[in-house]
């Protein structure tokens, strides 16, 4: 059976990034670099790899730099050319005309509200959602969204990325109430947003990647506020369970929570260690900083 292809992706990028103040006073958190590429670039590259054609950015006040980032950089490009410099570092930073849409979430009413703001652009198509500060690192050619699109091509319906965490961490996330499992696929019987300690139905959380049917927009239109006094996407998705197929896809890769300082530093370290031009130097630096005894203690 064939399902309608996933051609559009929504990137909710209106958040203030207060955990990274004062850096985010003037720089959107989505433009903070992991080694030498901003977080939003990694998310867009992941979407492209999965076959996404149109990128929809839901921004807010002070986020104009994101739109500028994906535009031409006339001065930089002209200067580099005049000096005979390599321009390959800029590949992927310019989105084709019509393939990038920028719109505003004028009030910080939650993730569900941010997604609803993109309703007219999404239209009647299934679509993906990527939260850029959830950095998902898969094997080359096997990004998180690509794994999810491959699963969607088999089962259709709605899919969420699923990730196992310690039970003590579940109050910070949306959590899956799981049904039958088939390899990386898990039937979703229910969803709970930020359950109270000790009440989570599983340790499978939602780490910021979704493929949803357009009917979710109708639900969000009248969705009441939930956890944190915000319009929660998890609540809208939960109301679709039973009327449409719903599965979790366990991600084969590593996830870094770049919404936290520790996770952001971990992502920088992990990617630097993977780089041919940086790995040896960073490894030597880390060993020297920690010392042999420190490495043994960390292990």
Beta strands per DSSP E along the chain: 8-12, 33-34, 37-38, 54-59, 100-104, 127-130, 134-138, 158-164, 174-182, 185-193, 204-205, 209-212, 246-250, 253-257
- Range in 214-218, 252-256, 280-284, 293-297 the model is least confident about: 293-297
- Domain 8-259 in CATH 3.90.550.10? The answer is yes
d(CA 44, CA 134): 12
- Whether 249 and 162 have beta carbons less than 8 Å apart is answered as yes
Nearest by Cα to 50 from 154, 183, 153:
153
3-state secondary structure of 55: strand
Residue 248's pLDDT is what?
A: 95
**pLDDT band with cut points at 50, 70 and 90 for residue 298:** low
pLDDT digits (tens, 9 = 90+) for 85-127: 777 777 778 888 888 999 999 888 889 999 999 999 999 999 9
d(CA 191, CA 238): 5
Other Cβ atoms within 10 Å of 263 Cβ, number? 16
Assess whether pLDDT exceeds 90 at residue 255.
yes
Structure tokens belonging to residue 176: 């899956």
- Whether 63 and 27 have beta carbons less than 8 Å apart is answered as no
Residue 22's pLDDT is what?
A: 94
DSSP 228-294: GGS--HHHHHHTTBTTB-EEEEE-SEEEEETTSHHHHHHHHHHHHHH-TTTHHHHHHHHHHHHHHHH
3-state secondary structure of 221: helix
- DSSP one-letter code for 12: E
d(CA 132, CA 129): 10
Other Cβ atoms within 10 Å of 237 Cβ, number? 25
- Whether 103 and 118 have beta carbons less than 8 Å apart is answered as yes
DSSP 26-41: TS-GGG-EETTEEHHH
- Whether 163 and 248 have beta carbons less than 8 Å apart is answered as no
d(CA 56, CA 10): 5
Residue with tokens 């720089």: 27
d(CA 210, CA 261): 24
**Domain-wise residue ranges, the chain:** 8-259, 261-299
pLDDT digits (tens, 9 = 90+) for 151-210: 999 999 999 999 999 999 999 888 999 999 999 999 999 988 888 898 999 999 999 999
> Is the link from the previous residue into 22 a cis peptide, with omega within 30 of 0?
yes
- Whether 154 and 188 have beta carbons less than 8 Å apart is answered as no
**pLDDT band with cut points at 50, 70 and 90 for residue 261:** very high
- DSSP one-letter code for 208: S
pLDDT digits (tens, 9 = 90+) for 136-145: 999 888 999 9
Q: Which residues pair with 209 in a beta bridge?
A: 130
């Amino acid at each position: 059976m064939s399902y309608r292809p996933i051609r559009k992706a929504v990137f909710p990028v209106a958040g203030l990034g207060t955990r990274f103040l004062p850096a985010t006073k003037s720089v959107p958190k989505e433009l903070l670099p992991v080694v030498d590429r901003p977080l939003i670039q990694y998310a867009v590259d992941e979407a492209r790899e999965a076959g996404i054609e149109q990128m929809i950015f839901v921004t807010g006040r002070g986020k104009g730099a994101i739109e500028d980032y994906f535009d031409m950089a006339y001065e930089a490009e002209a200067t580099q050319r005049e000096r005979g410099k390599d321009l390959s570092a800029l590949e992927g930073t310019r989105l084709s005309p019509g393939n990038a849409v920028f719109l505003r979430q004028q009030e910080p009413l939650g993730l569900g509200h941010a997604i609803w703001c993109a309703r007219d652009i999404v239209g009647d198509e299934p679509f993906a959602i990527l939260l850029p500060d959830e950095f998902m690192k898969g094997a080359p050619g096997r990004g998180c969204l690509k794994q999810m699109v491959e699963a969607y091509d088999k089962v259709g319906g709605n899919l969420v990325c699923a990730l196992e965490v310690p039970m003590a961490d579940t109050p910070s996330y949306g959590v899956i109430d799981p049904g039958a499992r088939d390899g990386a696929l898990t039937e979703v019987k229910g969803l709970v947003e930020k359950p109270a300690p000790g009440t989570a139905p599983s340790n499978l959380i939602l780490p910021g990647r979704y493929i949803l049917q357009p009917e979710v927009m109708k639900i969000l239109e009248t969705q009441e506020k939930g956890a944190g006094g915000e319009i929660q996407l998890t609540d809208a998705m939960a109301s679709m369970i039973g009327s449409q197929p719903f599965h979790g896809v366990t991600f084969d890769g590593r996830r870094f929570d770049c919404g936290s300082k520790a996770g952001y530093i971990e992502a920088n370290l992990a990617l630097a260690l993977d780089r041919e031009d940086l790995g040896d130097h960073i490894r030597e630096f880390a060993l020297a900083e920690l010392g042999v005894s420190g490495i043994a203690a960390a292990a």
